[in-house]
Structure 1
Amino acid sequence: MSTTSIDTETSTAETDSIHADPADTIPTTDTATGENDEGDADNGDGDAVADSAKEPRSRRLSWSGLVVFGVLPLIVVTLAAGAGYLKFRDGAIRGSDLARTGSVQAATEATVAMLSYNPNNVDAALHSAQDRLTGSFRESYRALVDDVVIPGAKQKKIAAAATVPAAASITATDTHATVMVFVNQSTIVGNDAPTASASAVEVTLDKVNQRWLVSGFEPK
């Protein structure tokens, strides 16, 4: 008798549960609002994260701007200055090379001209050599050849021939140079046998009107 009563109550409870008003299962406004508040809190946290993420980016952009507008122009200026220096250095090297080459050639040719003559051409040869000289040295050389060398060559039948087996630049700029010249000279006096001599001479040159001219001649 009691068992039948329990079963009937259970069935009634299940039936009431099945036919319950759906509204009873909908969350209340307070519950929904609470969830929305939590959502807003989450959104707030998201905004904070986004803001914090933007800050490094802003810094990166600032550094990028510094690189673009600061470092790159500096690099360009540095490269331009480096290129200018290299061009200047290249030009200076080329100029020095030309000065060395030109002065060595001029010193060699002048030395041979100054020390080579024979009784028949001594006037013309040594006067022509003076065109390769400049300054006070030219005046000294002219006085020497006119007063001593030319008269002696004619009187004693002296002939001299000079050669330059080697010459080397000591210093050279666009307007001034010194050259070491090694000289071999053969001299014949009258009917005597030739005599040979070897010497080294430091030749100083100045560039006058685009020509290298001898301004000093010092045996070593």
Structure 2
Amino acid sequence: MPESRRRPLPAYVLTYGVLPALLLLLAAAGLLKWQDGSVRNAQAPATESVRAATDGTIALLSYKPDTVETDLAAARGRLTGPFLDAYTLLTHDVVIPGAKQKKISAVATVPAAASVSSTDRHAVALLFVNQLVTIGQDAPTNTASSVRVTLDKVDGRWLISQFDPV
């Protein structure tokens, strides 16, 4: 009997084994890449708002007696809504006169911060704050506290709209 003609084994394996497996792997890799991008995009508001809360908190609570007016005026640029009004009143009536008269300086740091919730336009973060306050020539005092910072996105910037001690 004559031998029947068959495809060579390597071509058959390549056509029905390797190529479909390769296509399946590429599709899986594409899916994983898309999911990774989706997760990163979903985390972006949380990351951005925590950074804004941290930088804003440091600006709100840090000043020197010689530059207190400019320090706190710059901090007001990180605020919005009724909190901006309340902060402006407090700094104008209490903080600025006290810092100048008693030579008070304050340096705030945020050793830890985390997102509580976030959307594209609104976020809440929890911050642990250390503040070193020096009055005149006295020894500095260090206080530790935690604050719940609420932020709203206004014109593409995260601004603090509430600042609540916890």
**Does TM, normalized by the shorter one, top 0.5?**
yes
Deviations 1:180-209 (A, max 9, x none): 011000000111100000000000000011
2:148 to 185, 198, 202: 202
1:98 equivalent in alignment to 2:44:
yes
SS at match of 1:151: helix
1:191 to 137, 159, 166: 137
Structure 1 segments, 4+ long, off by >2 Å, are: 89-96
Q: Conserved in 2, the CA contact under 8 Å of 1:96 and 1:172? A: no
Partner of 2:85: 139
Structure with greater contact order relative to length (CA < 8 Å, sep ≥ 6) = 2
Deviation at 1:92, TM superposition (A): 5.6
Partner of 1:13: none
Q: Residue type matched to 1:201 in 2?
A: V
- Tell me, which stretches of 5 or more residues in structure 1 are unaligned? 1-82
- 2-structure distance, mates of 1:190, 1:90: 53
Q: Conserved in 2, the CA contact under 8 Å of 1:95 and 1:174? A: no
2:61 to 90, 109, 115: 115
- Tell me, which stretches of 5 or more residues in structure 2 are unaligned? 1-30
Q: Conserved in 2, the CA contact under 8 Å of 1:162 and 1:184? A: yes
Partner of 2:163: 217
Taking structure 2 as the reference length, the TM-score comes to: 0.77
Taking structure 1 as the reference length, the TM-score comes to: 0.58
SS at match of 1:132: coil
Greater strand percent: which structure? 2
Number of aligned residues: 134
- 2-structure distance, mates of 1:177, 1:164: 18
Greater helix percent: which structure? 1
